[in-house]
């Protein structure tokens, strides 16, 4: 078939190039001595040094990591509960509501989510005095909410693919539902749990729009600091920051691929 032999592979290769060229350029220019993009001033690590000497960026990074870790953990618990409900508990009466609400945050424009959560937090603060003011708590609550949607999608897919005979065997042997869940279901879906926690973590670490709406004075996250810098133009220390993030994600990707290959080998062996 000529189509799959020539035309599509060429177009697809261009597509992959489109996906990776900007990332490659970010990495290369993070080592550029010159501040100008078009000029190559020689190899240098000065932007990395500057990055690690910028207290504003370091503080924001620390705050963002804290927020990401706590919101991803909440998102994981809520997302797994939602996925279990949607895949296994067909009798649950709120199921249609849950199914509709769990998918919506994935495509909801961020400005709407951000504005609506901010208005909710302000209203709640007026009525019941919680959460008082805006800051880390409100950002964590907001990120946990959209994080759980992603967790639910990933875990749902894994639960559907899962071999149910194992759970049935455990139940036939007299294990209680909680025991079955903890000793059979959870270990089986563990890779999906790791992946979805990491995704919720990354998404929280990356969010600018929602955090800008629900954050308060003194709680500027890393994307908020980056955005205010980037708005003024190119700044090479941001390239250095991007390179570090790409490095971490790239290593994670290599590790994930290796894991996947190992598990397929084991399955076919």
In whole angstroms, what is the distance from residue 214 CA to residue 113 CA? 10
**Is residue 122 involved in binding other proteins (CB under 8 A)?**
yes
Residue 196 Cβ, how far from other proteins at the closest point, in Å? 12
8 binds other proteins (CB under 8 A): yes
User: Two tokens at 127?
Assistant: 């009525």
Q: Does 99 bind other proteins (CB under 8 A)?
A: yes
Of 69 and 120, which has the nearer Cβ to other proteins?
120
- Is 37 one of the binding residues for other proteins (CB under 8 A)? yes
Among 78, 136, 184, 200, binds other proteins (CB under 8 A): 78
Segment lying near other proteins (by CB under 8 A), choices 45-53, 54-62, 162-170, 236-244: 236-244
Question: Other CB atoms closer than 10 Å to residue 157's CB: what's the count?
Answer: 14
Site for other proteins in 128-187 (CB under 8 A): 141-142, 145, 148, 152, 160
Site for other proteins in 197-216 (CB under 8 A): 198-199, 202, 205-206, 208-209, 212-213
The verdict on 33 binding other proteins (CB under 8 A) reads no
- 191 near other proteins (CB under 8 A): no
Output the CA angle 252-183-260, nearest 5 degrees.
Answer: 25
d(CA 232, CA 230): 5
Site for other proteins in 58-77 (CB under 8 A): none
Kindly report whether the peptide bond that precedes residue 187 is cis, defined as omega within 30 degrees of 0. no
Per-residue b/e over 52-76, b at no fewer than 16 CB within 10 Å? eebeebeebbebbeebbebbbbbbb
> How far apart are CB 124 and other proteins at their closest, in Å?
9
| Closest-CA residue to 236 (of 30, 75, 73, 10) | 30
């Amino acid at each position: 078939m000529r189509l799959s032999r020539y035309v599509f592979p060429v177009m697809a290769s261009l597509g992959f190039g489109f996906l990776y060229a900007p990332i490659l350029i970010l990495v290369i220019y993070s080592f550029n001595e010159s501040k100008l993009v078009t000029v190559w001033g020689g190899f240098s690590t000065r932007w990395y040094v500057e990055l690690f000497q910028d207290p504003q960026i370091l503080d924001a990074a620390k705050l963002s990591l804290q927020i990401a870790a706590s919101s991803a953990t909440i998102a994981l618990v809520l997302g797994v509960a939602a996925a279990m409900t949607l895949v296994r508990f067909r009798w649950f009466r709120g199921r249609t509501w849950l199914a509709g609400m769990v998918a919506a945050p994935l495509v909801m424009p961020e400005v709407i989510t951000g504005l609506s959560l901010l208005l909710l937090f302000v209203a709640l603060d007026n009525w019941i005095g919680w959460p008082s003011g805006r800051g880390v708590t409100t950002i964590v609550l907001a990120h946990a909410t959209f994080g759980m949607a992603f967790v639910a999608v990933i875990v749902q897919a894994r639960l559907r693919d899962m071999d149910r005979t194992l759970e049935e065997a455990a139940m036939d042997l007299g294990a209680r539902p909680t025991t079955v869940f903890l000793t059979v279901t959870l270990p089986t879906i563990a890779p999906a749990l790791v992946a979805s926690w990491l995704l919720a973590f990354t998404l929280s670490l990356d969010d600018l729009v929602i955090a800008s709406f629900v954050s308060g004075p003194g709680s500027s996250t890393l994307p908020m600091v980056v955005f205010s810098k980037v708005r003024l133009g190119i700044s090479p220390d941001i390239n250095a920051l991007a390179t570090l993030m790409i490095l971490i994600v790239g290593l994670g990707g290599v590790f994930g691929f290796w894991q996947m290959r190992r598990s397929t080998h084991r399955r076919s062996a």
